Amino acid sequence: MHPLSPVLLIAGASASRGLRFDRSGIRFVNNAGYRSHYDHRSRKSSWPLPRARTCDVLAGFAEDKGALVKEASEGDVFLCYCRFARRFVRAGIIVSVDLEYIWQGESVYCCTTVEGGESRSRTLTPGTGDRFIHWVDLEWRRHAA
């Protein structure tokens, strides 16, 4: 099986088309991750994240595994938090962290992302609840078990 690789995910997501009726982006992330790490020989994917139905379910899984973080890295899955709804409402893939700055004592990340098959610029603010899934860390945890 393929080793976990942010480069594979970014390439796969960049080449993928958006999925209809996927406002949260969770289906796109599930599909891009699974397909980018699929091994045709073994007919399995090494993608470590579950096919979650909601961003909150994915966040819960990542938090349980210690992979939900406040620092953005290239290839991470991002989760946008909505204070009004009190839940994560949007998921996508970070292609690059273009700028990091401090605002009111918290890091703010200006990123290029792929969301629903389209590239865009997005500002992500952990101080308001946005989080990142550093899923590559799950590989060494899987082998350590």
pLDDT in tens, 50-83: 999 999 999 999 999 999 999 999 999 999 999 9
Tell me the residue type at 112.
T
Total domain count, the chain:
1
Tell me the residue type at 116.
G
Please say if the pLDDT value at position 145 is more than 50.
no
Is residue 101, in this structure, part of any structural domain at all? yes
Other beta carbons within 10 Å of 116? 21
Is residue 1, in this structure, part of any structural domain at all? no
Is residue 30, in this structure, part of any structural domain at all? yes
Answer whether 0.85 is exceeded by the pTM.
yes
Is residue 119, in this structure, part of any structural domain at all? yes
Tell me what pLDDT residue 85 has.
94
Is residue 102, in this structure, part of any structural domain at all? yes
- Residue in the block written with tokens 């550093």: 134
Tell me what pLDDT residue 135 has.
96
Q: Residue 86 burial (CB < 10 Å; 0-12/13-18/19+)? A: exposed
Is residue 107, in this structure, part of any structural domain at all? yes
Please say if the pLDDT value at position 143 is more than 50.
no
- For residue 19, give its domain range: 6-144
Q: Is 47 helix (H, G, I), strand (E, B) or coil?
A: coil
- Residue in the block written with tokens 């999925």: 19
Tell me what pLDDT residue 15 has.
84
Please say if the pLDDT value at position 17 is more than 80.
no
Q: Is 70 helix (H, G, I), strand (E, B) or coil?
A: coil
Is residue 126, in this structure, part of any structural domain at all? yes
Is residue 61, in this structure, part of any structural domain at all? yes
